[in-house]
Amino acid sequence: MPLGVFDSGVGGLTVVRALRAAFPSRDILYVGDTARVPYGNKSAETVTMYSREIIHFLKKNGADRIVVACNTASALAVEKLRESVSVPLHGMIESGVQAALEVAGSGPVGVIGTAATIASGAYQTALSQVRPDWEILAQATPLLAPLVEESWLQGEVTEKVVRRYLEPMMREKIRVLVLACTHYPLLKGVLRKVLGSEVALVDSSEACAKSLESTEAKVVEKGELKIYLTDEPGPFFGRVENFLGSGSVGSIQRIALEPVV
Amino acid sequence: MPLGVFDSGVGGLTVVRALRAAFPSRDILYVGDTARVPYGNKSAETVTMYSREIIHFLKKNGADRIVVACNTASALAVEKLRESVSVPLHGMIESGVQAALEVAGSGPVGVIGTAATIASGAYQTALSQVRPDWEILAQATPLLAPLVEESWLQGEVTEKVVRRYLEPMMREKIRVLVLACTHYPLLKGVLRKVLGSEVALVDSSEACAKSLESTEAKVVEKGELKIYLTDEPGPFFGRVENFLGSGSVGSIQRIALEPVV
């Protein structure tokens, strides 16, 4: 049975990339809701409804476990969806927090994400539950995903945007920055340049793949990747290859989601 | 009977602002599809389907004329929708082109808009049909709407982004720039600073309102504005007041759109 993975768009393919590296034998079904992307500026109710429709599709297509490869859906919808969905759901938050714990000493921790992710307080709450003594600095960085989609992955503008967003955290001398959006691993170069080498970057895509190690078997045959998008595969949301890495993309199929009541 | 106006989000309120100034007595129903915003990175088929659902809602609520206050929907969907919709539809393209003709001498004309608007070639085709001798420079500027939604309406970053996008046009010494997205009038200050005072800016919101003058009666009573959004009114897509101006916002109501087959 395949592993289901979904995101608002193609950003979640950074998670697929990490999952394929960790579990090469696992078949993966990926849904990108490109007809309604992004989720980061939408309400919890709307994001929960969209996620429910996608989970319904993935279950119908045989997924026995689902990775919510979207930080916004993880922050706004996963807890509620677990109450009603009969398949294990892996969100991004627990694994991101776990990875932050592993690299952080005692210094302040920064979190960056979409407006909705940061406003939900999900990361801040999860972090302060395990380390109430830590100072946590959260910053919504809604321009970073559009910069990645425009493929402005480096250069003066991107650096200045990053600097403007991160200045308050840099003043507080954060030691760890949690990248709480699937697009941000593509900005690691700029983030390192701005933050310096002393700040550890937590890539939530890698952390998420790592968190599945206890549930996933290691087999050597090569698994298959199927990508489904709710809008035509187009050039308007960044190149699929940017997110997925150099592996072959395989087939991309367009689907229509059904409302779930 | 009210005038229907719609956009992918709240950007179309810049058109409502111009319409209310021109026709203060007209009742207006506005739909912002904030649950699926933006349209500028989506396909023609998807944008047409969404627009059809909104037009269905507006007609059901009594609209006798509909302004498509979204350049992307105007570029991708209006022509097709006119075939099947029994109410007059006003897109943004004809009026934008008309306004460009009025201010342009002979010099090259620039057009900026979303990725989908520019890729559709709608403005380029419409302009070259009336003035085949003009040089037309079109540039997708997908970072400008997110900058407006982040309320970074001026400052170094926004200036640098604008300069990077417009440099090729500036080298060709454009005389007119058509702002083919409802968000861009909020960047007029930066655009003027970068382009200088010799380049005329065509505000498609104002041009659209002006194009309705022949069909709309001038009456003095004050009309009512009703705003409907498909997602919760939230803080995530820029302040409604930024787009609408200082007038009272009135009630904002959340609606669910029905699929139209």
ipTM of the complex as predicted = 0.91
Number of H helices, E strands in chain A: 12, 10
Walk along chain B (261 residues) and give the pLDDT tens digit of each residue. Answer: 899 999 999 999 999 999 988 888 889 999 999 999 999 999 999 999 999 999 999 999 999 999 999 999 999 999 999 999 999 999 999 999 999 999 877 779 999 999 999 999 999 999 999 999 999 999 999 999 999 999 999 999 999 999 999 999 999 999 999 999 999 999 999 999 999 999 999 998 889 988 888 787 666 567 788 888 898 876 555 567 777 776 666 778 888 888 887
Cα–Cα distances in angstroms (integers) from residue A220 to residues A22, A212, B1, B33, in the given order: 11, 17, 67, 46
pLDDT, residue A218, reads: 64
B199 to chain A, minimum CA–CA distance in Å?
Answer: 24
- CB nearest A116 (choices: B142, B157, B236): B236
List b or e across A62-93, with b for residues whose CB sees 16 or more CB atoms inside 10 angstroms.
Answer: ebebbbbbbbbbbbbbbeebeeebeeebbbbb
pLDDT digits (tens, 9 = 90+) for A41-79: 999 999 999 999 999 999 999 999 999 999 999 999 999
Question: By the CB < 8 Å criterion, does B256 face chain A?
Answer: no
| A156 to B160: CB separation less than 8 angstroms, yes or no | yes
Q: How far apart are CA A100 and CA A96, in angstroms?
A: 6
* Residue B42 C-alpha from the chain's centroid: 16
- Rounded to whole angstroms, the Cα distance separating A150 from A211 reads 31
Interatomic CA distance for residues B69 and B73, integer angstroms = 8
Residue in A with minimal Cα distance to B164: A157
For the sheet with B136-140, list strands across it: B136-140, B109-113, B176-180, B200-203
What single-letter DSSP state applies at residue B25? T
Point out the residue among A46, A143, A161 whose CB comes nearest to the CB of B231: A46
Domains recognised in chain A with CATH numbers: 3-91+208-254 (3.40.50.1860), 93-205 (3.40.50.1860)
Residue A236 has pLDDT above 70, yes or no: no
What Rg value do the Cα atoms of chain B yield, rounded? 17
**B148-161 pLDDT, tens per residue?**
999 999 999 999 99
Name the B residues in 137-166 with CB < 8 Å from any A CB. Answer: 142-143, 146-147, 149-150, 152, 156-157, 160-161, 164
B35–A46 C-beta distance less than 8 A: yes
- Chain A hits for B120, CB-CB cut-off 8 Å, are none
**What are the tens digits of pLDDT across the range A127-136?**
999 999 999 9
Listed in sequence order, the residues at least 6 apart from A163 whose beta carbon sits closer than 8 Å to its beta carbon are A194
Question: Which residues from A are below 8 Å from B235, CB to CB?
Answer: 115, 119
User: B41, A37: Cβ pair inside 8 Å?
Assistant: yes
d(CA B221, CA B35): 34
How far is residue B81's CA from residue B88's CA, in Å, rounded to a whole number? 10
Chain position carrying tokens 């991708």: B76
pTM for this one? 0.92
A7 to chain B, minimum CA–CA distance in Å?
Answer: 15
Which residues of A are less than 8 Å from B149 in CB distance?
Answer: 41, 142
Using an 8 Å CB-CB cutoff, list chain B residues near A143: 143, 146-147, 150, 152
How many whole angstroms separate alpha carbon B234 and alpha carbon A118? 14
